[in-house]
């Protein structure tokens, strides 16, 4: 569904990614893990047209989308949930969801879609009129995922689903992503600090070190790999 081939990219003429190869198949949950500063977020920025891909190619559903603008990628069916919160705290849950479809003028369609999203997130449905700034960390993250679903993406890039969440909320969030894969057919590419949980959740994983893929395999295989365990999972 998504493929990176030999992607070289970085900042201000300085390469951070030195030829990244990665693929995500339809219906998969794929996790990118690796040490701080290894280039995980830079991979997302390269996919999402936020930095220029200097060499190599990004393709989505067999279409070359290298360095395509974010709004065009969104139209093509890929949404991104960034690491930093993008929720508008002084707007309600409902209004935040509306913003996920601000380009669509058909109010009835927007309302229908919001109701579909609220069916997927019962906790948000109960809080639809509440200011988003008063939501708990887990509810806020759920709202960001819900909003990214507004335009019916087929794939979501999610930068650290667990950021700021306790272990139990992280588990709930991961369960939600699995559910979305099953009920809405969403394919996920995730970045996670929490490598062990991410590899337990994911079908497959990629370990990125110093801007290249050092290991790849099923989540289970990576969890069982001695070197990966020593380097990232605390032995």
At residue 111, the 3 state secondary structure works out as helix
At residue 19, the 3 state secondary structure works out as strand
CB nearer ligand ATP, residue 39 or residue 100: 39
Q: Closest distance between ligand ATP and the C-beta of residue 131, in Å?
A: 29
Work out whether 231 is an interface residue with ligand ATP (CB under 6 A): no
Q: Closest distance between ligand ATP and the C-beta of residue 188, in Å?
A: 17
Tokens for 109? 């369609």
From residue 217, give the alpha-carbon distance in Å to each of 10, 40, 127, 183, 190.
26, 17, 40, 25, 15
Closest CA to 207 of 52, 32, 15: 32
Q: Which of 6, 25, 26, 37 binds ligand ATP (CB under 6 A)?
A: 37
CB nearer ligand ATP, residue 34 or residue 153: 34
Work out whether 162 is an interface residue with ligand ATP (CB under 6 A): no
Query: Distance between CA atoms of 125 and 103, rounded to whole angstroms?
Result: 23
CB nearer ligand ATP, residue 96 or residue 162: 162
Q: Closest distance between ligand ATP and the C-beta of residue 111, in Å?
A: 37
Work out whether 42 is an interface residue with ligand ATP (CB under 6 A): yes
Work out whether 36 is an interface residue with ligand ATP (CB under 6 A): yes
How does DSSP classify residue 131? B
Query: Distance between CA atoms of 199 and 190, rounded to whole angstroms?
Result: 10
CB 190 within 8 A of CB 30: yes
Query: Distance between CA atoms of 126 and 110, rounded to whole angstroms?
Result: 19
Query: Distance between CA atoms of 124 and 136, rounded to whole angstroms?
Result: 11
- Which listed range, 34-42, 64-72, 73-81, 85-93, lies at the site for ligand ATP (CB under 6 A)? 34-42
Q: Which of 28, 41, 95, 116 binds ligand ATP (CB under 6 A)?
A: 41
Work out whether 164 is an interface residue with ligand ATP (CB under 6 A): no
Query: Distance between CA atoms of 174 and 168, rounded to whole angstroms?
Result: 10
> Which helix (H) or strand (E) element contains residue 31?
strand 29-33
CB nearer ligand ATP, residue 36 or residue 63: 36
Q: Which of 6, 11, 26, 227 binds ligand ATP (CB under 6 A)?
A: 11
Q: Which of 4, 24, 39, 150 binds ligand ATP (CB under 6 A)?
A: 39
Q: Which of 4, 30, 38, 197 binds ligand ATP (CB under 6 A)?
A: 38
Number of residues that bind ligand ATP (CB under 6 A): 11
Query: Distance between CA atoms of 142 and 48, rounded to whole angstroms?
Result: 21
Site for ligand ATP in 48-87 (CB under 6 A): none
Residues that bind ligand ATP (CB under 6 A): 11, 16, 34, 36-42, 193
């Amino acid at each position: 569904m998504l493929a990176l081939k030999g992607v070289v990219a970085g900042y201000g003429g300085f390469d951070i990614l030195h030829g990244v190869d990665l693929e995500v198949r339809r219906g998969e949950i794929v996790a990118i893990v690796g040490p701080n500063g290894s280039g995980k977020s830079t991979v997302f920025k390269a996919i999402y047209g936020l930095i220029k891909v200097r060499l190599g190619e990004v393709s989505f559903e067999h279409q070359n989308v290298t360095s395509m603008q974010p709004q065009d990628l969104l139209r093509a069916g890929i949404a991104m949930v960034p690491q930093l919160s993008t929720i508008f705290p002084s707007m309600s849950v409902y209004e935040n969801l509306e913003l996920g479809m601000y380009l669509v003028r058909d109010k009835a369609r927007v309302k229908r879609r919001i109701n579909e999203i609220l069916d997927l997130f019962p906790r948000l449905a109960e809080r639809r009129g509440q200011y988003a700034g008063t939501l708990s960390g887990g509810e806020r993250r759920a709202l960001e995922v819900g909003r990214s679903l507004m335009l019916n993406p087929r794939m979501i890039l999610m930068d650290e689903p667990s950021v700021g969440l306790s272990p139990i909320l992280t588990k709930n969030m991961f369960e939600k992503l699995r559910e979305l894969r099953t009920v809405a057919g969403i394919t996920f590419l995730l970045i996670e600090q929490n490598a062990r949980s991410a590899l337990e959740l994911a079908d497959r994983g990629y370990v990125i070190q110093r801007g290249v893929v050092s290991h790849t395999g099923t989540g289970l295989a990576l969890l069982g790999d001695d070197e990966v365990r020593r380097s990232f999972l605390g032995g």
